[in-house]
Structure 1
């Protein structure tokens, strides 16, 4: 059993990036095994590590967890980032699903053809400004956190989303002063501030190697 959690995924953002964010925000050191060959992936399959034949996989507390949502729920609950009761969790889940919708549009964009990628870029801006950000802007009126009076998974996920969208549309927060203030405050949480520094496990925008590696390993 690993003393530190071990994350198995590609050397890029994808579905694993939110896992990195949540572990880092919780102050949990973790290790990574980057999957860059088909043989590595097949070995995990042969060893029975991938319940649904998918990565990411997180080895933690003697378990080999798969399915991103299940992994994130476990981390949030284990490290007191999942609210105080079931009602808090329900609200956290709703907010997380909203930011997950936005991030899915961002994360799939590198896999699209050029003309479709441009359409996706505009869709991201439209959905963010007109469907999602107004909800979070209202939720943060006169509040420091989305749910309750302490940092939760919902706040961490929202900051991840904000920074991800800003890489594509750097002026998008101009119309959302509460979100701008939120970004500045949550970025200063010590564990998150450390994660945002160069040299952390945080992954950059997909480079020229990321998409071909994913397609080759998964035979897509």
Structure 2
């Protein structure tokens, strides 16, 4: 085993949210300390490629437990399973997967927002609000209400809850009153944000990243040699 891979997980990505942020959230929720290597130059990226560290020539990449993992979903699944956040059997995992995919779909719409023109941002914001309030949040509201429990899987805290709180907070950044018609989700948010590991991650100075901006886009373009 490479000695640099034997300690804390090491995350290779930009100093920004992107596809790595959900990985940061899940590690933080599990109480796992991690290190970050921020890509700033084309040379850093080319070295990772030349060393054979990027299986499909892309990041995020995470060094963990003697492995170099790429593909966000594979990384998240591994962390969730390792830290008992992925259900107790294959049926529960399937349910968690469904809930997670819903939040990922919503977050994908939000993630592109900062790249858009002012006019496109107007339309995108309408889409975010429409999808959140009509397609996704009603599902999670009903699940929580029907269970009468704290978490999406009843009394069991899972990856699905971590992904949902990330999606809620991302959506609130675009529309602060987005949960006004969802009392169960409001209560869920309050409960989850009081979990010690989550509360710590939400404090200033944590490894949680701010919303993306033009500087992040410029860095990504430079590293990937985009024109």
TM-score w.r.t. structure 2 length? 0.95
Q: Partner of 2:47 in structure 1? A: 43
- Secondary structure of 2:48's aligned partner: helix
Q: Partner of 1:136 in structure 2? A: 140
Q: Is it true that 1:84 corresponds to 2:88 in the alignment?
A: yes
What RMSD over aligned residues (CA atoms) do the two structures have, in Å? 0.9
The C-alpha deviation readout for 1:45-94, integer Å capped at 9, x for no partner, is: 00101111110000000000000000000000000000111111000000
Shift of 1:207: 2.6
Q: Is it true that 1:190 corresponds to 2:161 in the alignment?
A: no
1:169 counterpart (146, 171, 175): 175
1:210 counterpart (213, 216, 225): 216
- For 1:150 and 1:74, locate their aligned partners in 2 and report how far apart those are by CA, in whole Å: 18
The C-alpha deviation readout for 1:119-153, integer Å capped at 9, x for no partner, is: 11110011000000000000001121111421100
Q: Partner of 2:73 in structure 1? A: 69
The C-alpha deviation readout for 1:175-203, integer Å capped at 9, x for no partner, is: 00000000000010100000000000000
- Secondary structure of 1:7's aligned partner: strand
Q: Partner of 2:152 in structure 1? A: 146
1:59 counterpart (60, 63, 82): 63
Q: Is it true that 1:160 corresponds to 2:166 in the alignment?
A: yes
- Secondary structure of 2:180's aligned partner: helix
- For 1:164 and 1:7, locate their aligned partners in 2 and report how far apart those are by CA, in whole Å: 21
Q: Is it true that 1:20 corresponds to 2:24 in the alignment?
A: yes
TM-score w.r.t. structure 1 length? 0.98
Q: Gaps spanning 5+ residues in structure 2: where?
A: none
Counterpart mapping for 1:115-130 below 5 A? 115-130=119-134
Q: Partner of 2:103 in structure 1? A: 99
- For 2:121 and 2:50, locate their aligned partners in 1 and report how far apart those are by CA, in whole Å: 36
Figure out how many residues of one structure are paired with residues of the other and give that number: 220
- For 1:57 and 1:114, locate their aligned partners in 2 and report how far apart those are by CA, in whole Å: 32
The C-alpha deviation readout for 1:151-174, integer Å capped at 9, x for no partner, is: 100000000000010011000101
